[in-house]
Structure 1
């Protein structure tokens, strides 16, 4: 199963559509992301990011719904080891 996470584009670098990159904010963390699959994306846009590549541009409402759903998932704790 794959999961794409929404993030907000802060800045874009480059003119070549295949090599454009963006600085994308995911909460308090920013990462460099390829925009090769989303040439229309620019600063202020929300994008879905999978494996370092923005795969779709989405609106703010969709991004917020997705982030809310992710926050609602309880943190997983591994089961305690069974003792003798």
Structure 2
């Protein structure tokens, strides 16, 4: 199962403006935010992530609610976190 997971933007990479570092429940990874170029993504914003791409900008309340729901999925959510943990964008 593939899920969209909320992550908080913790850094925008200055050398690659279409890349940002996000935090998803303590897992920090670089993702592509190029699809949101018109959204003015900044540090502290929340985005919905799927396969290394930010698909949409969401508010913190929506992110928290989604994370609470995802945690109830157990293994599917853990598998998605593991996949995020193992992913790398250079």
What TM-score range do you get, normalising by the shorter chain? 0.7 to 0.9
Q: Normalization by structure 1: what TM-score?
A: 0.77
User: Using a 3 Å threshold, how does the CA distance of structure 1 residues 14 and 20 change in structure 2: closer, same or farther?
Assistant: farther
Q: How much has 1:67 moved relative to structure 2?
A: 0.3
Q: Which runs of 5+ in 1 are unaligned?
A: 77-84
TM-score computed with the length of structure 2 as normaliser:
0.73
Aligned position for 1:49: 49
- State the Cα RMSD in Å: 2.0
- Which moved further from structure 2: 44-53 or 19-28? 19-28
Larger relative contact order (Cα-Cα within 8 Å, sequence gap ≥ 6): 2
Q: Quick check: which one's helix share is greater?
A: 2
Q: Higher Cα Rg: structure 1 or 2?
A: 1
Contact 1:14/1:20, CA 8 A, preserved across alignment:
no
Q: Runs in 1 of length 4+ with deviation above 3 angstroms?
A: none
SS of corresponding position for 1:65: helix
Unaligned runs of 5+ in 2: 77-90
In the TM superposition, what is the alpha-carbon distance from 1:14 to its structure 2 partner? 3.7
